Chain A
Amino acid sequence: MTLTIQATTTGAAPPGATATGATAIGPPRRRRLGLGRPIPYGRVLGPLLLLAVWSAGSASGALDPRILSAPWTVLRTAGALTADGRLPDSLLTSLQRAALGFSAGLVIGTTLALVAGLSRLGEAVVDGLVQVQRSVPVLGLIPLMILWLGIGEAFKVVIIAIGVSITMYIQTYAALTGIDSRYVELAEVVGLSRWRFVRQVVIPGALPGFFVGLRLAVTGSWLVLIVLEQINATSGIGYLMFQAQNYAQTDVILVGLVVYALFGFGSDAGVRLIERRVLSWRRTLAG
């Protein structure tokens, strides 16, 4: 029996192998095709390079300051605007609008999603309505809202709130209704009450989707804010930039852009931080 197996193996040897089976051997030779280890803090390299090119261009006079002010001019302008109080004032106004609109939208959107996601009646009433509302771009509501509310703060807050609430609604509702049916079955089997089922299975299960909505909504609220402040405002960062455009002050415009960028980056980082805390059970999955 054993002999037969050996004979077969030898007979089936590849034609390249010598009769004795002694081919030349050595360490494995492989060309590495993957990208290798990432550079530490590599992500700042690009922005730093851009800053260097910008500085060089401004210093050599290749960049017309009317087109693009030098980095140091922007810094100096930021200092001056802070000193005379215009920047802090505008910043506060803008932050207030965004925060008010965002929190109102967050509460409304999440509440609607809970109503629609947790009961069939709520779904029938709310979901159709929101789906219709969703097909109207938020910025398209500006004329109507101005007619209704004037061009004061209320109108801006309402527009931001509508945008945020729709984003929050869509993501949260999808997460609530998309809960794994296996977990529903489990809850039935262990005899959870409806309330405990919602609290311990549905809501924790929907949190990842809720956070996706939160991140989209934060970004979206800044976008809406910028548009509102640049066309219909008498205060705020956007208004500051709009005025600067009239006087061709590129340095002020750049200060505004940097502030917006910091807003956007900061709030996204904040949401991600909260998400990591709340969804700590997921970290183990990511490794």
Chain B
Amino acid sequence: MAADPGRVSARASALIRGFGGRTVLDGLDLEIPDGQFVALLGRSGSGKSTLLRAFAGLDFGVAGSGEVAVPDRVSVVFQDSRLLPWRRVLDNVVLGLAGGGTARLARRSTARLGGRGTAGRGTGGPGGRSAGGLTARDARERGRAALAEVGLAGRERAWPAELSGGEQQRVSLARSLVTEPRLLLADEPFGALDALTRIRMHGLLRRLCERHRPAVLLVTHDVDEAIVLADRVVVLDAGRIGLDLTVDLPGRRSPADPHYLEYRGLLLDALGVREPGAKESEGVPA
């Protein structure tokens, strides 16, 4: 659980990736220390998702060279919640746990116990043991705790289709955190949510990351999201790192803070966006 900032959690060195003759990542080097929250910005096609997929080990058959090193427990959050529609919420959360598939007996016991939100909310993370060697009962206990952490206690037996988009994405967060990952990879996880839900999700993600302290690599195209959430913002440009910025803002980060605006200006500059007047609040590159 405890993060050691001196240790490197994930590393890519001299990473080259290309599709159909076009080089997307061009000798990229990136190190993410333990427990650091890194936001990855870049224009469309700058290689953000390619880099994330390389860390996730999801680039089967992609041409390239270079090395990627990741910890043993890596979780991925996708833009869509990607819940299996034929598994109930809790079964989706424990999908990746060792005991998560065979819990036929324990299934009934969750059925009608307690209404919404009665289970202990935020009672701390599940024990930081390895995901291996769990019994079905342990797995479900951890799944239930993870659901409570994202504020969905009581919805264990719901089908994914019965939840709103924001709730589905919260379930997917619970699924990614239940394995106690040392590295959390998130590919525009809030991109499909409405603006109000997104703000709430930012708060939730920050709280969860403060508690579990995984290293995080968040791919986003939203400059404000990057500044609000991250300890460090990396801008990709033409397959390399164009800007590596440590965000040093204390406490709650407010867009009204002059330092905040300074960071914003720097990042937009690095992304090659010129704002028409200083009031424009949409800083999202096309």
Contact = CB atoms under 8 A, between A and B. Distances in A.
Interface residues of B, number: 21
Given A186-B78, A190-B96, 18 more contacts: A185-B82, A189-B58, A189-B75, A190-B175, A192-B95, A192-B96, A199-B101, A200-B95, A200-B101, A201-B84, A204-B84, A204-B86, A205-B86, A279-B86, A281-B88, A281-B159, A284-B162, A285-B85
Nearest to A190: B96
B161 interface: yes
Contacts of A282: 85
B159 A189 contact: no
A212 B85 CA distance: 18
Contact of A183 (B76, B82, B179): B82
A182 interface: yes
Contacts of A153: none
21 contacts: A185-B78, A185-B82, A186-B78, A186-B82, A186-B84, A188-B57, A189-B56, A189-B75, A190-B175, A196-B101, A199-B101, A201-B84, A204-B84, A204-B86, A207-B86, A279-B86, A281-B85, A281-B88, A281-B159, A282-B85, A285-B161
Contacts of B162: 284
Nearest to A201: B84
Interface string B72-107: 000110101010111110000001100001000000
Given A189-B58, A284-B161, A200 B84 contact: yes
Contacts of A190: 75, 95-96, 175, 179
Nearest to A205: B86
Contacts of A46: none
Interface in A174-231: 182-183, 185-186, 188-192, 196, 199-201, 204-205, 207
A273 to B, nearest CB: 18
A281 B86 contact: yes
B134 to A, nearest CB: 13
A4 B18 CA distance: 55
Nearest to B83: A186
Interface in A242-287: 279, 281-282, 284-285
